[in-house]
Amino acid sequence: MSLWQHLARAYFDTVYSPLYDSTTAHLSRYVDSQKEMAARLRAEGRHRVLCVGLGTGNELTSLRARAPELDIVGVDISPAALARARRKPAGEGQGTAFALVDAQQLAFRDACFDRVLCYHVTDFLRDPAKATAEMMRVLRPGGHFVISFPARSEGLGLGAGLLAHGLRSRGPDGASAGRVRGVTALLLGGLIYLPLMLRPRPVIFAAGQLEPLLQPLGARECIIETDPVYRDHLVSGVKNAGGQTHAA
Ligand SMILES: C[S@@+](CC[C@H](N)C(=O)[O-])C[C@H]1O[C@@H](n2cnc3c(N)ncnc32)[C@H](O)[C@@H]1O
């Protein structure tokens, strides 16, 4: 592992993953966007789904709410994140597998997944293009993907917006966020987001760069939207029947 990967894993293991479910995962915008992504992915029946950068496993919950019998593989570089995902009800049972795998080097054979989801992960990667090629390689022809790409430097504005939204948000139980809980969320959120806001994003994309990146990898019917939570590009599409199956 490179120094960057060591640092990223240490941050996700010790700060981000332990606090994620008590901060970000409570944002109503985040919950809604998880549901929307599960809908866009069109996973159904016993589809084999790869979640790249699964994190603490909230994607499992939204995917299983739509299709309980999915065969889901979640990969991440953070053992702490995967341990949390494994403990979630949606992560239990034989239909879910977890693997400590780098998104830029997916240890799976070509075309072995029906669906690939990668949300808010490529902006932590030194080589998001390589990760994208890997995701398209392991996706079968005719399979659907949803991948988000960093649009710009996150900056203080985004952090402030997320935190303000978090303070106004209701929890999953529907209870209003009280003052104490709001202040706690503010402090915890600040702890999570400060390193993210201050870091230089390794790579960012203009919307016009995404089709040229994805089409040679076999993507078609690409829809490019703005992610409501992180203001990144959210791309959904299908791999064509003659699409590339080998990593670039
Ligand atoms: C912002 S979280 C998103 C988690 C999840 N996709 C969600 O939306 O809840 C980013 C995740 O990407 C993981 N990650 C960072 N670099 C990675 C890499 N090179 N390969 C795989 N996962 C990585 C982190 O450990 C973290 O769990």
Higher pLDDT, 51 or 228: 51
- Mean pLDDT score, 101-109: 97
CB 150 within 8 A of CB 128: yes
Select, from the ranges 29-33, 93-97, 183-187, the one with the highest average predicted confidence (pLDDT). 93-97
Assigned CATH topology for domain 3-153+203-239: Rossmann fold (3.40.50)
Average pLDDT, the chain: 85
Average confidence (pLDDT) over 228-238 = 89
pLDDT of residue 166: 56
pTM of the predicted model, to two decimals? 0.88
Ligand 1 environment, Cβ below 6 A: 8, 12, 53-55, 58-59, 76-78, 81, 102-104, 119-121, 124-125
pLDDT value of residue 194: 73
Where does residue 18 fall: left (phi above 0), alpha (psi -120 to 50 degrees), or beta otherwise?
alpha
Ligand 1 centroid – CA 179 distance (Å): 30
Q: What's the confidence (pLDDT) of residue 247?
A: 39
pLDDT at 131: 98
> Going by CA atoms, what residue is nearest to atom 16 of ligand 1?
124
Domain-wise residue ranges, the chain? 3-153+203-239, 155-197
pLDDT in tens, 114-133: 999 999 999 889 899 999 99
pLDDT in tens, 178-210: 667 666 766 776 777 777 777 777 788 999 999
How far does residue 55's CA lie from ligand 1's centre (Å)?
Answer: 5
How much distance in Å is there from the Cα of 92 to the middle of ligand 1?
Answer: 20
pLDDT of residue 6: 87
